Amino acid sequence: MDQNSFFFQAMVYLAAAVVMVPIAKRLGLGSVLGYLLAGVIIGPAALKFIGQEGQDILHFAEFGVVIMLFVIGLELEPELLWKMRKSIIGLGGLQVLVTAILFTALGIGFGLLWKQALAMGMILSLSSTAIVLQTLNEKGLMKTAAGQSSFSVLLFQDIAVIPMLALFPLLATSSPIATGDHASSTLVSGLPGWAQTLVVLGSVAAIILAGRFLIRPLFRIVAATRLREIFTAASLLLVVGIAVLMTQVGLSPALGTFLAGVVLADSEYKHELESDIDPFKGLLLGLFFIAVGASIDFNLIMQQPLLVLGLVALLMTVKAVVLFILGKVFKLAIGPNIIFAFALSQVGEFAFVLFSFSLQEGVLPKETVDLMVAVVAISMALTPLFLLINEKLIQPRIGTKESVEERGADEIEEKNPVIIAGFGHFGNTIGRFLRAHNVKMTILDNNPDRVDLLRRLGFKVYFGDATRYDLLHAAGAANARIIIITIEPADKRLELIETIKKHFPHLRMLVRSTNRFDAYDQMNAGMLHIYRETLDTSLRVGVDAMKFLGFRTYAAQRAARMFFKLDEANLKKLSSIRDRDQYIVEARAKMEELELTLKSDLQQITEMKDTGWDEETLIEEFNQPKS
Amino acid sequence: MSKLLLLFAHPAFEKSRVHARLIRHCRHLEGLTFHDLYEAYPDFDIDVKREQKLLLDHDIIIWQHPFYWYSGPALLKQWEDLVLEHGWAYGALGDKLTGKRIFNVISSGGSKEAYTETGRNRYTIRQLLAPFEQTAKLCGMEYLPPYVLHGTHRFSNADIEMHAVQYEQLLVALINDRITPDEWNKCTYLNEINPIPETVQS
């Protein structure tokens, strides 16, 4: 592909996505359908911008699924994964087993050889991680019972792919087509069985150990460069590297990166990794969906419309029924269970790989594979549509709102109510104080050494630039109640304030300010809770000075508290009368400000004696001759 | 020998004439611990453990304060609320203060006559001090009559000085156990133990 045609291709894909996805979102169809439609439009069926190379792009874009599983792994701490073991192995295992057996039986019924039918059954038992998770995520269903159950099943399917790949060569009915394809030539393929197992286990252990002990210090060094793109490059390198390693030892790359994600889930770089990788994930997944749309062979459908549509209907019905029954067995309520059954009723992207693999291995004939690829693509395209119909027509009738029916054990951990942005000398005092009173908080800081140190001391600190929307989002700003803004310098704080006002208007902001001028800017930005960093300390010095001069401590403290209140009130008053532009331009503004402040101090402080304790007026009255 | 703890509560001590003179006379007496509550706890954060230790270490406790609005200043109330804990000072297990003696030393602008049924304050000082007295009783302490300075608004410096001397003598007598329960039970005010001769009163 020369450069021009590469750019042309890129333009076509991007344009299709940019046009179709907003339209689909607008119509309430969700982004996945938008991408699929975009694919259909630019594909052979309509505009014919992409032809046969759509398949290559499909394989390339599958990497989006790999990245997605890495991101999902990041969100899933090991304890949570352990808690989900029952639904992964029980629900997931039964789904794969029962569905595969049913489809094998059906395959035999359709006249396939038993080996072919078994291959078919295994392939069709899988669902599409990409479509399901993307759609559920978009609908905000991932943390609900339906979402968690779906995820458990998908995770098991990803594991199940490994033995399937190993089993396929044994199912060959004709001699394999010798293509020397990458899928069959791994590093370990020449080794005896026990050594293969050993290598596989070794590489899993390597990922876990590296994640624990190697990757974090490496990321720390990378983060210390403070070059954002190098951190992004390192994140991508991590994912690509694991994918390559996994492929070499014959494991699923998605599984490998998922594992790495889980290992890094409690690391300080979690949010930074997530927000750096996320755009790649999104674009590649989008590309993947477009490619799926483009690969739907409408010619084939036109030739045998009844057969194709009948197969799609049969396939999805069988899958959905199995899922629904299993959901019931695993005590899903009716509402979530319908979502669960619809969500996983398609056949997944791995079918494309396995179909082409089974073609190479001579398991299935080409006509069958072509037909089934079309069926699979249609089933994928229908899933978001079904979920939409379910959401609009079925769920309202059942009346069980899925969002409120969350299940205890499998829920993703609640996010902390407090976020502290900036953990320097100002922020860490607040953090220590709040922690001493068991207030749960998420801390954002951009000094890697400090992040590392604080984490070793048991604080929950994350690395990153707090002004970034994606990091705030990842830190749970949508669920938090308070954000304490102590980052430096002042204009960075204003930037953060604007971001929060725009995206998280519910968050209460407590803002550090350097001085009066900083405070004015923050007032103009609408801040209500402003803390001038030196005010309280300076007044404490004043109190002690008065004490050493012989003033009563209580009197000095009261005076300071009154001064404080007066000053805060004056700040508000002066803020409203000062001419902003003039003040910013003029260098002598600060002196004028000081003058104003000092004058009003003198005026007002004389008016604020504690007359309640004064006896002068009483004595005066007492000593007056009675008339 | 009895050990005296003088709990002094005055939010505007710097403006005080009467209490300042009284305190100047007695704060360094041997056998007396002077404890300035507003100086120690300007932020009202009373160190309960320290206060309880002080109580344990003394035999006679004095609440000295201006008689604001028929009671003590706010910090004294805070002190009572926090220091006299249930299970420590009172209640089935609270016996730490049993047998100790306690009394109020107060200054009041009004005359003694103003604190009678027919006076403008309608109640006697002893009646108005009932919350203190009852607090002491509930803690198993013996409540002595108060030492009261009436009509301080009209006090000359000489008047104040005379009372300060009288007060000092009273405290010295208490430290040296020279006053018997019979004697104080007969009094309305402790001022009557060693009265200022009428000839020198203004």
High-pLDDT (> 70) share of chain A, %: 86
Given a cut of 90, is residue B191 above it in pLDDT? yes
Q: What is the DSSP string of A36-95?
A: HHHHHHHSTTTT-S--TTHHHHHHHHTHHHHHHHHHHHHHS-HHHHHHTHHIIIIIIHHH
Distance CA A353, CA A161 (A): 10
Q: CB distance from A539 to chain B under 8 Å?
A: no
How close is the nearest chain B Cα to the Cα of A557, in Å?
A: 7
Q: What are phi and psi of B94, to 5 degrees?
A: -90, 95
pTM of the model: 0.55
Q: CB distance from A325 to chain B under 8 Å?
A: no
- Residue A249, both tokens: 């030892």
Stronger pLDDT, A578 or B118, i.e. the higher one: B118
Q: CB distance from A499 to chain B under 8 Å?
A: no
The count of residues in chain A is 627
B window 150-179, beta carbon within 8 A of A: 153-154
Range with the poorest average pLDDT among A449-453, A535-539, B153-157, B185-189: A449-453
Between A613, A614, A623, which is nearest B154 by CB? A623
Mutation target among A539, A547, A552, A614 for the B interface, most CBs of B within 10 A? A552
How close is the nearest chain B Cα to the Cα of A553, in Å?
A: 5
Architecture of A3-404 per CATH?
A: Up-down Bundle (1.20)
Between B39, B68, B154, which is nearest A554 by CB? B39
Given a cut of 60, is residue A586 above it in pLDDT? no
High-pLDDT (> 90) share of chain A, %: 15
Contact A186, A249 (CB under 8 A): yes
Range with the poorest average pLDDT among A345-349, A401-405, B84-88: A401-405
Q: What is the largest CA-CA distance in chain B?
A: 51
Given a cut of 70, is residue A405 above it in pLDDT? no
CATH code: domain of residue B24: 3.40.50.360
**Could you report the per-residue pLDDT of A220-252, keeping only the tens digit for each?**
888 888 787 888 898 889 889 888 888 888 777
Question: CB under 8 Å to B20, separation ≥6 — which residues?
Answer: B13
pLDDT of residue A298: 80
How close is the nearest chain A Cα to the Cα of B162, in Å?
A: 20
Stronger pLDDT, A162 or B186, i.e. the higher one: B186
- Tell me how many domains chain B contains: 1
Task: Output the CA–CA distances (angstroms, integers) from residue A324 to A132, A150, A151, A204, A625, in the order listed.
Answer: 16, 12, 15, 34, 98
Domain that holds residue B172: 4-200
Distance CA A430, CA A435 (A): 8
Query: How would residue A9 be classed by pLDDT, with cut points 50, 70 and 90?
Result: confident
B window 55-114, beta carbon within 8 A of A: 68, 109
Cβ separation A555–B14 shorter than 8 A? yes
Q: CB distance from A622 to chain B under 8 Å?
A: yes
Given a cut of 90, is residue A254 above it in pLDDT? no
Query: How would residue A611 be classed by pLDDT, with cut points 50, 70 and 90?
Result: low
Average pLDDT of the residues in A74-80: 76
Is the backbone peptide bond immediately before A448 cis, with ω within 30 degrees of 0? no
Range with the poorest average pLDDT among A15-19, A45-49, A557-561, B61-65: A45-49
DSSP code of residue A421: E
How close is the nearest chain B Cα to the Cα of A554, in Å?
A: 4
Backbone Cα Rg of chain A: 32
Question: CB under 8 Å to B80, separation ≥6 — which residues?
Answer: B135
pLDDT of residue A610: 64
Q: CB distance from B38 to chain A under 8 Å?
A: yes
Distance CA A266, CA A75 (A): 9
Question: CB under 8 Å to B115, separation ≥6 — which residues?
Answer: B108, B121, B123, B124, B125, B128, B150
Distance of CA A178 to the CA centre of its chain: 42
Average pLDDT of the residues in A462-485: 85
Cβ separation B109–A622 shorter than 8 A? yes
Between A556, A613, A615, which is nearest B109 by CB? A615
Contacts of B9 in chain A (CB under 8 A): none
Contacts of A557 in chain B (CB under 8 A): 42-43
Given a cut of 60, is residue A588 above it in pLDDT? no
Average pLDDT of the residues in B191-195: 92
CB atoms within 10 A of CB B166: 20
Q: CB distance from A551 to chain B under 8 Å?
A: yes
Helix/strand/coil for A566: helix
**Could you report the per-residue pLDDT of A257-301, keeping only the tens digit for each?**
888 888 888 777 887 888 888 888 888 888 888 888 887 778 788
Q: How high is the ipTM of this complex?
A: 0.79
Average pLDDT of the residues in A427-440: 89
Mutation target among B67, B120, B153 for the A interface, most CBs of A within 10 A? B153
Stronger pLDDT, A585 or A470, i.e. the higher one: A470
Contacts of B154 in chain A (CB under 8 A): 622-623
**Could you report the per-residue pLDDT of B17-27, keeping only the tens digit for each?**
999 999 999 99
pLDDT of residue A36: 85
Is the backbone peptide bond immediately before A22 cis, with ω within 30 degrees of 0? no
**Could you report the per-residue pLDDT of B34-69, keeping only the tens digit for each?**
999 999 999 999 999 999 999 999 999 999 999 999
Distance, first Cα to last Cα, chain A:
113
Nearest residue in chain A measured CA to CA from B74 = A613
Contacts of B11 in chain A (CB under 8 A): 554, 610, 613
Please name which of A175, A118, A176 lies closest in space to residue A360, comparing C-alpha atoms: A176
Please name which of B39, B33, B46 lies closest in space to residue B5, comparing C-alpha atoms: B33
Number of A–B residue contacts, CB under 8 Å: 39
Mutation target among B10, B13, B15 for the A interface, most CBs of A within 10 A? B15
Q: CB distance from A553 to chain B under 8 Å?
A: yes
pLDDT of residue A585: 45
Range with the poorest average pLDDT among A170-184, A272-286, A315-329, B69-83: A170-184
Distance, first Cα to last Cα, chain B:
35
Cβ separation B38–A552 shorter than 8 A? yes
**Could you report the per-residue pLDDT of A325-377, keeping only the tens digit for each?**
999 888 888 888 888 998 999 998 778 777 877 777 777 888 888 888 888 88
Query: Mean pLDDT over all residues of chain A?
Result: 81
pLDDT of residue B96: 95
CATH 1.20.1530.20 in chain A is located at 3-404
Q: CB distance from A213 to chain B under 8 Å?
A: no
Nearest residue in chain B measured CA to CA from A624 = B154
Mutation target among B37, B38, B157 for the A interface, most CBs of A within 10 A? B38
Q: What is the largest CA-CA distance in chain A?
A: 129
